[in-house]
């Protein structure tokens, strides 16, 4: 009689999110794992890893009682939508939903109503979980999604339901109270779909990208390995003693993979609900937060905050910056205000789950002076472990590593999406010649470091030359009087396009449009970073620069409202 070798638990052992979920419960069951501060009431809730796990088991049982079905490779399970902020309940959904074999669809609540409705309908969400503070938003879309969504779950501290037209409606905490706190997590196939993320739709309708357990598991372990390879002498290697705050919305590309990496790392995870400057400062001070990942806009908001120095932010050592280039000037400004913190850049997108490129200090750079290291840290960086990343020209050939030649970033790797969900036409536009084409432009220097210069759609074409807007934005942000800078192309009868710089000044700086051009000449033209013809021909000083739902500069909204910005703009005659 042949002996069974159980290959499914050896060479075919599945890479599943339940493995990530169980680690901190097994080794630190009684330590505080999740801290949530309600930004409305100011109330703190702290859960040990065991408490969080038991609640997640209860949620899994409740989902099964609601009739949620698991999927198999190639056939996604029921899609479960969430309209929620960075709360402990959302973190419970992050594991309960995919670990029973269903698909977690975190709805971007900052999209337009049209796009929110579209993503729910396109995903075919069976159940929709939503925060109490988002009740008005769900009521606003209810009539348009009620025929698709079979059940709604109201997430609040108590078990009482609000008076509302939404039906059938369940109370999250009541579902958990009625459920058992033990659950037999299934041994899913690792290629079972776990999550569905939608793009923020800078053009057209949002596009969905599905990711499997295997993809998310591999991204997580590669990011954790990368942290151990760090040679950056200014970033403390805190290991499991790190106290990260997840500021990136959990509805945005897996919260940049933080809910997986930080649970696997058994860190104490701090959740702010949503970002406010005073809430951020209070949480850093109270919980001794060590690191956070942010978009550049948040750094600008911190710099504007007049009471920043009243808080003890000395525990903060790491600020990961994504969602846009990290200008050297912005990095220098924030590190001057929070002396113990060091900021570094990274790059990713919805379709890459998102980890793709990250700031990295090579081992022989460790002893370089700070100014030279900072120039490395603001480069987009090197490919994340496990990812293949190239920059290619229009014929698909790799560009020279000269730091000057611009090409498109193409990627492939174990967590790059296979295809857009129910959208083969858009898939064919980005997946060809064996590479996913990102639509982002970059250069590569002799060390192999990428530096993002623009989106293909944002690049300014002036005459026969190309003007990279990110380069101009980064230079402008170096000025001590500039808080934020966005550059777009506007029509020009002679050159086709010319650059319009939209600037938000540091409060009380007293500077004007010509001061910006003088700075760009001195720091850019005179030092050979840009040529004179790249200088903006128009400069508009504004109170606010339009942002996307996740805090990036929204150049689509700028272009849609271009007449308003042109009305504010000053023509630079010497440029």
**pLDDT band, very low/low/confident/very high, at 186 (cuts 50, 70, 90):** very high
Instruction: Specify the pLDDT at position 234.
Output: 65
For the chain, percent of residues with pLDDT exceeding 70:
97
| Chosen CATH of 460-571 out of 3.20.20.70, 3.30.1180.20, 3.40.50.12780, 3.30.300.30 | 3.30.300.30
Closest listed residue to residue 346, CA positions, set 300, 308, 378: 378
| Per-residue pLDDT tens over the stretch 97-130 | 999 999 999 999 998 899 999 999 999 999 999 9
Instruction: Specify the pLDDT at position 236.
Output: 60
For residue 169, pLDDT beyond 70: yes
> Can you tell me the mean pLDDT for 358-384?
93
Residue 31's CB is within 10 A of a number of other CB atoms, namely 13
- The residues near 327 (Cβ < 8 Å, ≥ 6 apart) are 296, 378, 473, 474, 475, 476, 477, 478, 485
| Per-residue pLDDT tens over the stretch 488-507 | 988 887 777 889 999 999 98
> Can you tell me the mean pLDDT for 25-48?
96
Whether residue 390 is preceded by a cis peptide bond, meaning omega within 30 degrees of 0, is no
For residue 263, pLDDT beyond 70: yes
Instruction: Specify the pLDDT at position 228.
Output: 84
For the chain, percent of residues with pLDDT exceeding 90:
78
> Can you tell me the mean pLDDT for 524-538?
86
Answer yes or no: same fold for 13-26+46-213 and 275-455: yes
Dihedral Cα 320, 326, 328, 330, nearest 10 deg: -80
Domain at 275-455, CATH homologous superfamily: ANL, N-terminal domain (3.40.50.12780)
For residue 560, pLDDT beyond 90: no
Q: How many helices (H) and strands (E) does the chain have?
A: 18, 27
Kind plus residue range of the DSSP H or E element containing 104:
strand 103-106
Closest listed residue to residue 195, CA positions, set 57, 350, 348, 19: 350
Instruction: Specify the pLDDT at position 277.
Output: 96
**pLDDT band, very low/low/confident/very high, at 225 (cuts 50, 70, 90):** very high
Domain at 13-26+46-213, CATH homologous superfamily: ANL, N-terminal domain (3.40.50.12780)
For residue 465, pLDDT beyond 70: no
**pLDDT band, very low/low/confident/very high, at 34 (cuts 50, 70, 90):** very high
Q: Which has more confidence, 547 or 356?
A: 356
Contact 268, 246 (CB under 8 A): no
Q: Which has more confidence, 287 or 12?
A: 287
For residue 94, pLDDT beyond 60: yes
Domain boundaries, the chain: 13-26+46-213, 275-455, 460-571
Q: Would you give the distance in Å from CA 427 to the centre of its chain?
A: 22
Instruction: Specify the pLDDT at position 498.
Output: 87
């Amino acid at each position: 009689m042949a002996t069974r070798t159980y290959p499914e638990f050896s060479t075919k052992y599945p890479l599943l999110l339940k493995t990530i979920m169980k680690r901190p419960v097994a080794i630190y069951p009684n330590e505080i794992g999740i801290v949530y501060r309600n930004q409305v009431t100011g109330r703190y809730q702290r859960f040990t890893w065991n408490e969080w796990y038991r609640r997640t088991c209860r949620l899994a049982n409740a989902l099964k009682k609601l009739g949620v079905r698991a999927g198999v490779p190639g056939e996604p399970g029921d899609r479960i939508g969430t309209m929620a902020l960075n709360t402990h309940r959302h973190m419970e959904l992050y594991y309960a939903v995919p670990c029973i074999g269903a698909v977690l669809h975190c709805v971007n609540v900052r999209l337009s109503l049209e796009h929110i409705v579209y993503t729910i309908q396109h995903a075919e969400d069976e159940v929709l979980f939503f925060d109490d503070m988002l009740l008005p938003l769900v009521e606003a879309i209810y009539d348009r999604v009620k025929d698709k969504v079979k059940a709604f779950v109201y997430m609040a501290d108590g078990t009482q339901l609000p008076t509302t037209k939404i039906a059938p409606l369940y109370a999250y905490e009541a579902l958990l109270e009625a459920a058992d706190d033990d659950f037999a997590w299934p041994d899913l196939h690792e290629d079972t779909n776990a999550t569905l993320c939608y793009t923020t739709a800078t053009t057209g309708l949002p596009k969905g990208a599905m990711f499997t357990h295997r993809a998310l598991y591999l991204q997580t372990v590669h990011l954790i390995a990368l942290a151990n390879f760090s040679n950056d002498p200014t970033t403390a290697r805190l290991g499991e003693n790190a106290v990260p705050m997840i500021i990136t919305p959990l509805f945005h590309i897996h919260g940049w993979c933080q809910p997986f990496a930080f649970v696997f790392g058994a860190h104490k995870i701090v959740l702010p609900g949503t970002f406010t400057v005073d809430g951020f400062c209070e949480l850093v001070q109270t919980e001794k937060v060590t690191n956070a990942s942010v978009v550049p806009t948040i750094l600008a908001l911190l710099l504007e905050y007049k009471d920043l120095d009243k808080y003890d932010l000395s525990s903060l050592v790491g600020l990961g910056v994504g969602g846009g280039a990290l200008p050297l000037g912005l990095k220098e400004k924030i590190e001057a205000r929070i002396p113990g913190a060091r900021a570094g850049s990274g790059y990713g997108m919805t379709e890459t789950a998102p980890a793709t490129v990250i700031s990295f200090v090579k081992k022989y750079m460790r002893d370089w002076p700070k100014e030279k290291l900072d120039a490395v840290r603001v480069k987009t960086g090197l490919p994340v472990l496990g990812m293949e990343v190239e920059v290619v020209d229009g014929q698909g050939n790799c560009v020279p590593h000269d730091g000057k030649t611009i090409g498109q970033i193409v990627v492939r790797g174990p967590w790059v999406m296979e295809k857009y969900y129910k959208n083969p036409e858009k898939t064919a536009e980005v997946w060809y010649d064996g590479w996913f084409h990102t639509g982002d432009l970059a250069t590569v220097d002799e060390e192999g470091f990428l530096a993002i210069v623009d989106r293909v759609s944002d690049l300014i074409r002036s005459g026969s030359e190309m003007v990279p807007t990110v380069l101009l934005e980064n230079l402008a942000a170096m000025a001590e009087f500039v808080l934020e800078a966005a550059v777009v192309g506007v029509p020009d009868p002679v050159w086709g396009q010319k650059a319009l710089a939209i600037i938000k000044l540091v409060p009380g700086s007293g500077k004007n449009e010509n001061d910006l051009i003088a700075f760009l000449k001195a720091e850019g033209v005179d030092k050979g970073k840009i040529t004179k013809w790249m200088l903006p021909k128009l400069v508009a000083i504004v109170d606010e620069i339009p942002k996307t739902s996740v805090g990036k500069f929204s150049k689509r909204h700028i272009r849609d409202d271009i007449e308003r910005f042109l009305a504010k703009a000053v023509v630079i005659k010497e440029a």
